Amino acid sequence: MNREEALRLVKTQITEHRYQHTLGVMETSIALAERYGADQKKAELAAIFHDYAKFRAKDEMKEIIASQKMNPNLLAFNSELWHAPAGAYLVETEAGVTDREILDAIRYHTSGKVKMALLDKIVFLADYIEPGRAFQGVDEVRNTAKENLDLAVIEALRNTIFFLMKRNQAVYPDTFEAYNDLILNSK
Ligand code: DGI
Ligand code: FE
Ligand code: FE
Ligand code: FE
């Protein structure tokens, strides 16, 4: 699928604000793929589709998580997590994307996971640092992303974990596992 067709499909699914975010994630993912030697076309498609399910009803996402035998533990945590795995499923079944690396990058773009693939890291990070984002600390992560991909992902994970903990929110285990894995194993 080319960029235009993918963007056209995604535009029907999300708000104009989210579409502008998606364009930012797309440009940032392509730049990170170029910088760190990933497939730029896969980075582009994964980014375009990463928030495909963002506005689906919670009941529909719950049903997908259950019927597709995804980790049922997801349902005990913040519903913000659900659009990523539900999105991977819908992008495959509705948009016809079959590439496993692209689908995984969509699946793990919110939570992260242990042993993230290069494309997973790129989309996760691009989602965090795209030009439209204004999180506390995002400029530091943008700078780190120019030099060290793993360290930038660690910083984004750390900021998100802090953010959730400051608000007394639970942190999904995969997010901690992603953080621990990169701290222990990244060079
Ligand atoms: O979909 P986006 O808004 O572009 O961003 P996202 O997919 O990274 O997810 C949005 C939010 O999910 C993020 O701001 C924090 C929230 N969230 C809730 N629980 C968790 C979580 N994020 C992570 N990484 N881990 C959690 O347990
Ligand atoms: Fe998202
Ligand atoms: Fe994210
Ligand atoms: Fe996003």
> Rounded CA gap, 41 and 56, in Å?
26
- Residue 186: what pLDDT? 85
CATH pick for 3-134 out of 1.10.3210.10, 1.20.1250.20, 3.90.209.20, 1.10.260.40: 1.10.3210.10
Q: Quick: pLDDT tens for 133-161.
A: 998 899 999 999 999 999 999 999 999 99
Query: How far does the centroid of ligand 2 lie from the alpha carbon of residue 25, in Å?
Result: 10
- Reported as half-sphere exposure (CB side, CA atoms, 13 A), residue 179 has a value of 16
Q: Quick: pLDDT tens for 156-183.
A: 999 999 999 999 999 999 999 999 999 9
ipTM of the modeled complex:
0.92
**Minimum-distance ligand 1 atom for the alpha carbon of 21:** 4
> Rounded CA gap, 56 and 73, in Å?
19
Share of the chain above pLDDT 70, in %: 99
**Minimum-distance ligand 1 atom for the alpha carbon of 51:** 1
Q: Which tokens sit at 69?
A: 């035998």
> Rounded CA gap, 154 and 137, in Å?
13
pTM over 0.90: yes
Q: Which tokens sit at 126?
A: 């691009």
Q: Is 139 in the pocket of ligand 1 (CB under 6 A)?
A: no
> Rounded CA gap, 8 and 2, in Å?
10
> Rounded CA gap, 71 and 78, in Å?
14
Query: How far does the centroid of ligand 1 lie from the alpha carbon of residue 132, in Å?
Result: 16
- The answer to whether 64 and 86 are in contact (CB under 8 A) is yes
